[in-house]
Amino acid sequence: MGHQKNICGVFAAALTPLRPDFSPALDDLPHFLDFLAFRGCHGALILGTTGEGPSFSPPERNALLQSALAVRQVHPDFRLLAGTGTPSLEETIELTRAAFNLGFDGAVVLPPYYFRKATDEGLFAWFSQVIQKAVPSESPLFGYHIPSMTGVGLSLDLLARLKDAFPTQFAGIKDSSADPGFARQLGHRFGRDLLVFSGTDSLFSHALQNSASGCITALANLRSPDDRLVWDAHQKGIVDIVAQARLDAARAVMNRYPPNPPLYKALLARLHGFPRWAVRPPLISLAADIEEKALSEATSEVETFAA
């Protein structure tokens, strides 16, 4: 598996800093990643769902990926994954190739989410083209399983076929299905032969007990210290019930205020002094009363998000 064995642990599905005019605040991104590194993250996914990835053009995505690399000047071992999946095959190939050319550690690729009736045969052909044309030998590509957003799931049989066909390039999956049954099935079917990253903090301990390699979550933007406690405990063969309970409570709060990016950006500004970053339309910033209500619920149910 080459250097893929080093891709594990706690990853934030990083927010994307935006100016009031909705343009990327490129200088803010390395500072934010530095914050995540100091709070226990092993790495970050840039331009995933929480990072509003599909809302950016290819030139904007490339600029953000280049900006993210600056975090390695302070944290040379900080792992960087790039969200590169789009409905366009050629655009996905170009973005994935660019990410690896920049030195990213891996790519996390959504399935083509416009044609929701695509078959496993069609998805295999699509991912095969991306891997063959954009992924260097021994470099890892991860499928992104988030059917609630894409309407296109990645079946166990499809994952097995991709792993068999591309054993050194198709590394695993970001599982954001929020389905404990699917997490069990992944562990039972693949064990540690497939790198599985849970996208749901409330299922983190459960996923680890089913052979997951870590997490890539939105909540890690705020609660990475608890994610790290769960991870470190697992390395010792135990479960940190208290830290997991805080993650469960925090996730419950965030689930009441979808979509997540506006709330996460508001809480980061309120609790950690970051600029009040915008979100790009069609997302809109939270109304003041909703923000206050969410902050109150977060602090009362999870002790404090500033831990």
What 3-state class would DSSP assign to 176? coil
Distance CA 263, CA 257 (A): 7
Name the active-site residue from 16, 49, 50, 96.
49
10 phi, psi to nearest 5 deg: -100, 120
126 phi, psi to nearest 5 deg: -65, -50
Name the active-site residue from 174, 200, 217, 264.
174
| End-to-end alpha carbon distance in the chain | 36
| 257 in active site | no
- The helix-helix angle for 120-134 and 156-165 (nearest 10°) equals 30
Distance CA 146, CA 154 (A): 9
* Contact assessment for residue 169 and residue 137, using Cβ atoms and an 8 Å cutoff: yes
Name the active-site residue from 16, 86, 96, 144.
144
Q: Identify which of 205, 151, 214, 209 has the alpha carbon closest to the alpha carbon of residue 177.
A: 151
| 114 in active site | yes
Distance CA 18, CA 80 (A): 20
- Other beta carbons less than 10 A from residue 30's beta carbon: 19
Question: What count of Cα atoms within 13 Å lies in the side-chain half-sphere of residue 251?
Answer: 19
* Contact assessment for residue 211 and residue 196, using Cβ atoms and an 8 Å cutoff: yes
Distance CA 228, CA 214 (A): 10
Distance CA 275, CA 206 (A): 35
Which residues touch 91 (CB under 8 Å, ≥6 apart)?
Answer: 58
Residues with a catalytic annotation lie at 49, 114, 144, 174
